[in-house]
Amino acid sequence: MMDTNDAWITERTGIKERRWFTPGVDTVANMAAKASMMAIQNAGIEKEHIDFIVFATITPDYYFPGSGVLLQRELGLGNIPALDIRNQCTGFVYALSVADQFIKTGIYQNVLVIGAEIQSSALDKSSEGRGMAVIFGDGAGAVVLKRSENAGRGIIDSKLYSDGKFAEELILKDPGSSRPKRKFDELALDMSDSKPYMNGNQVFKHAVQRFPEVTLEILEKNGFEKSDLDLLVPHQANLRITNYIKEQLGLPDSKVVSNIERYGNTTAASIPIALSEAFQEGRIKEGMLICFAAFGSGFTWGANLMRW
Ligand SMILES: CC(C)(COP(=O)(O)OP(=O)(O)OC[C@H]1O[C@@H](n2cnc3c(N)ncnc32)[C@H](O)[C@@H]1OP(=O)(O)O)[C@@H](O)C(=O)NCCC(=O)NCCS
């Protein structure tokens, strides 16, 4: 497809495999529905108990309506509210924090929080687009956030940030509502704004600073030391970024979840997929102190700290 090779991709990103959707079969909504049913079963509830959907994606099936309503339809749920979150690779961290507010205020009891993406359809698979095309993958992950009477468990805190100065460093411009509409033949000649663009070096530099910074901040703010952390589930941006965070925080491999080698960077889906795998592998035990941290386009970044 493009001028690249396995050695380059492995060295720069750590990625060995990715999943790409099957057109005509997979949709963001139906992938999300499968992940949601796994989460609902693990949570030991019926799907009818879900009273709010928070859906993080930058690749909705339609420009509008959002993916939350499509998931509500796909799961055959009642007329519960459905909210879409568009915060790119930080989407799941933002979504979890929104869900947490509704749980803490007692408005909802069981919130379905999803991160799902089909990115392969927009990637430029020519050599020109290789900087992005080798990194991003498709996938879906979900959690159920339940209200619990046990005050010691659940989300302890969330820290969310943005810096729009860097909006154009990782961007997909079209379809943008304020942009002049181009004629069909002009579009056919120049598709550049319809393909995602990333300034890889710039993203890398900021990511390696923000990830450790926000992780340390949320720990310190809540009275914890680095050594109190049982598990860090970072957004799977790039293996080099994850390794750098691990080094900066002085965490052993056993305390950091990494599965980018099998899925690539799945944007809002990467944290819930990594969490789901860690859970299935028995790495998560009741009472553990767990941190989710992410950085991405916007730039946006943030973290959630929770007691499992
Ligand atoms: C994208 C990224 C892997 C590129 O790595 P890099 O070391 O910055 O690479 P550069 O773009 O400087 O390119 C280095 C060389 O590799 C080449 N190259 C770039 N992409 C390539 C590819 N897919 N395959 C083969 N060669 C490639 C370049 O042409 C360049 O060659 P040259 O030295 O002969 O000019 C890296 O910048 C990165 O990981 N950035 C962060 C990306 C990220 O995590 N994004 C998600 C955030 S949520």
Residues in the chain: 308
Q: Which of 204, 211, 241 to mutate to test the pocket of ligand 1 (most atoms within 8 A of CB)?
A: 204
Amino acid at site 87: N
Strands 289-296 and 300-307: antiparallel
The β-bridge partners of 71 are: none
Q: Which of 12, 135, 172, 258 to mutate to test the pocket of ligand 1 (most atoms within 8 A of CB)?
A: 12
Query: Mean pLDDT throughout 266-282?
Result: 98
Q: How far is the CA of 132 from the centre of ligand 1 (A)?
A: 8
The mean pLDDT value of the chain amounts to 95
pLDDT digits (tens, 9 = 90+) for 179-235: 777 776 776 677 778 889 999 999 999 999 999 999 999 999 999 999 999 999 999
Task: Check if 13 has its Cβ closer than 6 Å to any atom of ligand 1.
Answer: yes
Please give the angle made by the CA atoms of 274, 277 and 282, to the nearest 5 degrees.
125
Task: Check if 27 has its Cβ closer than 6 Å to any atom of ligand 1.
Answer: no
pLDDT digits (tens, 9 = 90+) for 101-140: 999 999 999 999 999 999 999 999 999 999 999 999 999 9
Q: Which residues are catalytic?
A: 89, 235, 265
Task: Check if 298 has its Cβ closer than 6 Å to any atom of ligand 1.
Answer: no
Reported in sequence order, the residue ranges of the chain that DSSP labels E, i.e. its strands, are: 52-56, 82-85, 110-117, 139-146, 154-162, 170-171, 197-198, 231-234, 289-296, 300-307
User: Left if phi > 0, otherwise alpha if psi is -120 to 50, otherwise beta: which for 173?
Assistant: alpha
The pLDDT of residue 177 is 85
Ranges 31-40, 48-57, 191-200, 293-302: which has the least confidence: 191-200
The pLDDT of residue 4 is 94
Residue nearest to atom 40 of ligand 1 (CA): 200
Task: Check if 296 has its Cβ closer than 6 Å to any atom of ligand 1.
Answer: yes
Which ligand 1 atom lies nearest to the CA of residue 131? 20
Task: Check if 134 has its Cβ closer than 6 Å to any atom of ligand 1.
Answer: yes
Nearest C-alpha neighbor of 292 from the set 227, 226, 224, 236: 236
Q: Which token pair is 29?
A: 């909504």
Task: Check if 294 has its Cβ closer than 6 Å to any atom of ligand 1.
Answer: no
Tokens 């700290």 correspond to what residue? 305
Neighbours of 173 (CB within 10 A): 13
Tokens 């990511």 correspond to what residue? 207
Query: Mean pLDDT throughout 66-84?
Result: 98
Rounded Cα gap, residues 31 and 288, in angstroms: 29
Amino acid at site 160: L
Rounded Cα gap, residues 106 and 51, in angstroms: 12
Q: Residue 34: pLDDT band by 50, 70, 90 thresholds?
A: very high
Residue nearest to atom 2 of ligand 1 (CA): 200
Q: Is the dihedral of CA 103, 109, 268, 194 positive or negative?
A: negative
Rounded Cα gap, residues 174 and 3, in angstroms: 26
Q: Which token pair is 287?
A: 């009472």
Q: Residue 178: pLDDT band by 50, 70, 90 thresholds?
A: confident
pLDDT digits (tens, 9 = 90+) for 141-153: 999 999 988 878 9
Residue nearest to atom 19 of ligand 1 (CA): 131
What percentage of the chain carries pLDDT values higher than 90?
A: 91
Query: Mean pLDDT throughout 14-30?
Result: 97
Rounded Cα gap, residues 164 and 87, in angstroms: 12
210: helix, strand or coil: helix
Task: Check if 153 has its Cβ closer than 6 Å to any atom of ligand 1.
Answer: no
The pLDDT of residue 194 is 82
Rounded Cα gap, residues 120 and 266, in angstroms: 10
The pLDDT of residue 270 is 98
Rounded Cα gap, residues 45 and 10, in angstroms: 41
